[in-house]
Structure 1
Amino acid sequence: MKTKIVLIEDDSTLGLAILEILALNGFDVKWFETGSEAVFYFKENTCDLIISDFMMSIMNGEELFFKLHKQLKQNSIPFIIITGNVDKNLKYKQLENGVNDYITKPFNTKELIFKIRNLLDFKKNILKKLTPDPFSKVTIKLSEKDFITALNEILIKNIKSKIDLNELSKKLFISKSTLDKKIRKHTNKNISQYIREFKLQYAIKLINNGEKNIQFLVVETGFNSFSYFSTSFKSYTGMTAREYIKSLKY
């Protein structure tokens, strides 16, 4: 799939020239002559890199950058400013704003292509680090084991802390909603209920193994408070933790 570039240039002659240069170098280019057209385009579309002229009527390159930055709610799309203004202070201001690169007209074709490729490679490397390898040992491990077993392994390793559901879904490489659906499918419980009962089952195992200190159980199972642990324990077993301990014959 070709790399998608959005070009905003109000000079039709220069815009056509840049369009041809990029196309010859294997890029899929969408060209707009005004910033407002680009803003409308990005309401339902995206791209891999943006190139914009600075001096344009109605909306200049700086205004466009800020508008798209706010609209896209992220800064993951590299943004290059092209301008005939040689004022260094203007250049420094754009870079300070967050623009990724700045090219002064007239520019060399090779310079433009090199800068584009460098930014795209940098973005690719960043995304690669943030995206799980589908063939990693962790993923293979999950594919070989039962979902609940994999889930329980993560829960037991984090038993003393409050489980972050977003982090839990990331470790299982699924969305939070999918995690909830899978748990409901396998256990007929929602995420919160399953985690709470998992912690209580662990507390019961500790008691069965001789633990009698209730405060220790609260800390060891990662409950927020003594009262929440006590209420949850009684709701789950039908008796308080103290009553449960007394019912056992050590």
Structure 2
Amino acid sequence: MRFKKSEILLIEDDLALGSSISEILQLSDFYVHWAMNGIEALDYLQNHTPSIVISDMMMPFMNGEELFINIRKKKKFNAIPFVMITANIDEEVKYRQLENGVTEYIVKPFKSMELIFKIKNLLALAQYIEKKFKPDPFSKVTIKLSDKDFLVSVNEYILNNLKSKISIEELSTHLYISKSTLDKKIRKYAKKSITQYIREFKLEYAVRLIDAGERNIQFLVDETGFNSFSYFSSSFKSYIGLTTRDYIKSLEN
């Protein structure tokens, strides 16, 4: 059985460096599409969804920062890791890219293994998150739920409605039980109220996105369906013990 290779979109205007990086990635068993500038990259993305984007910072027509902002405007590309490569060692520039939401920032010159390891780590985390939260298709046909199937079905419903305000009444109807029974079962199996369970599920999802490289806090708020930035921030700090920014910084140290 043949497995599909991870597809990498490389944007690099330097012929020698672009050729070298492309060759290294292909030797590491990645499929690589090499674009010479941001305009070519955006054109390619109209019909393709790569596993990861690697871009030089300084390029003609459109620099890496402008390209990143343009890519993130499309919702379907929000979760794709974006690696910025640059010779600029200015700390302010670096922090601005990370604050914008760039997943990784690699300074030239760099060792090829540094790039390969970072790519593999980002892809592994993305695959872990997808596997962890992928709904169990068989839970949909389960009427009388076992302990394990009950929580699986609750998690599936929350995940499928993650960006919305989740109605406990609609959740209980989905599971064919009353709201009081739903709350009792959650308290029994998870040792917390249904409201707390939903909130912490969303926060745990946000944590996994951060661990996978997401740095845009507003994106985290939108993806987890919190009704305000401040409520997300206070809930995150209460749950993790650190502010969102401090948690992100702890991963970068």
Question: Which category of TM-score, normalised to the shorter sequence, fits these structures?
Answer: 0.5 to 0.7
Alpha-carbon distance change, 21 to 56 in structure 1, aligned in 2, over 3 angstroms: same
Q: Which residue of 1 aligns with 2:107?
A: 104
Which of 67, 77, 82 is the matching residue for 1:79?
82
- Give me the identity figure in percent: 49
1:37 partnered with 2:40: yes
Q: Which has more radius of gyration?
A: 1
Of 5-14 and 121-130, more deviation after overlay is shown by 121-130
Q: CA deviation at 1:34?
A: 0.8
What root-mean-square deviation, in Å, do the aligned CA atoms of Structure 1 and Structure 2 show?
3.0
Which of 93, 117, 120 is the matching residue for 2:96?
93
Q: Which residue of 2 aligns with 1:7?
A: 10
Q: TM-score, normalised by structure 2?
A: 0.55
Matches within 5 A, 1:168-183: 171=157
Q: CA deviation at 1:133?
A: 3.8
Preserved CA contact (<8 Å) 2:54 2:82? yes
Q: CA deviation at 1:141?
A: 7.3
Which of 52, 56, 63 is the matching residue for 1:53?
56
Q: Which residue of 1 aligns with 2:72?
A: 69
Q: Which residue of 2 aligns with 1:21?
A: 24
Q: Which has the higher contact order (CA 8 A, sep 6+)?
A: 2
Q: What is the identity, as a one-letter code, of the residue corresponding to 1:48? A: S
Task: Name stretches of at least 5 consecutive residues in structure 1 with no aligned partner.
Answer: 155-166, 175-194, 199-250
Q: Which residue of 2 aligns with 1:115?
A: 118
Q: TM-score, normalised by structure 1?
A: 0.55
Task: Name stretches of at least 5 consecutive residues in structure 2 with no aligned partner.
Answer: 146-152, 161-172, 177-253
Q: CA deviation at 1:89?
A: 1.1
Q: How many residues align?
A: 154
Q: 1:56 and 1:8 mapped to 2: Cα distance? A: 9
SS, match of residue 114 in structure 2? helix
SS, match of residue 106 in structure 2? strand
